[in-house]
Amino acid sequence: MSRNKLLDLLVERMGREAVEFIIPHPLLPPRYRRECKDRNLIVTFDIENTIQLRWENARLTSWMSPTPGEFRVVVAYALKKMEQYRRDLRTFGNFVDRVAEQPFQDPIFDDADTMVEPKLAEKKGSASKGSIPGVRFPFMGGGGESPLPAWAVF
């Protein structure tokens, strides 16, 4: 939402409806971060034009009512942390672009077009029961050791 649309919406609802805004807990000042217990801060601008703060998913905790100046400090700190996060994320993205390699891919699974899905049921009149033609897995149809121990031959 653009700044002007958001401002118009806030002005329109002012005095008629409460408006809530969520500030993620990593962006909170240290004073609030200690008591948040990894919960986001919900800011409510109520119909009396006062600011109410509460923690997300906390039904029984009391609401805090900061002054506009105290809330300005919270917003300024959150904006500063967001700018730092933006720089860090940009740096990480550039680093990944420079040094990341393609994921390993096994050639067995590369030719999905040429592989045949195993048949679940044989048609009536088929001579070979239980065969799976055209599947190219190295472990299928190659025999192998018996799952039974050598002394259990019947």
- Give the domain range for residue 79: 3-99
Task: For residue 108, give the nearest of 129, 132, 136 by alpha carbon.
Answer: 136
Is residue 134 assigned to a domain? no
Confidence of residue 33 (pLDDT cuts 50, 70, 90): confident
Q: Does residue 46 form part of some domain? A: yes
Nearest to 41 by CA among 23, 63, 59: 23
Model confidence, pTM? 0.57
Please state, for a pLDDT cut of 90, what percent of the chain lies above it: 26
Q: Amino acid letter at 102?
A: Q
pLDDT tens digits, residue range 93-144? 999 999 888 777 666 666 555 555 655 655 565 555 555 555 444 444 455 5
- Residue 13 within a domain: yes
The domain tally of the chain equals 1
Residue 105 lies in a domain: no
> Do residues 56 and 43 lie in contact, with contact meaning Cβ atoms separated by under 8 Å?
no
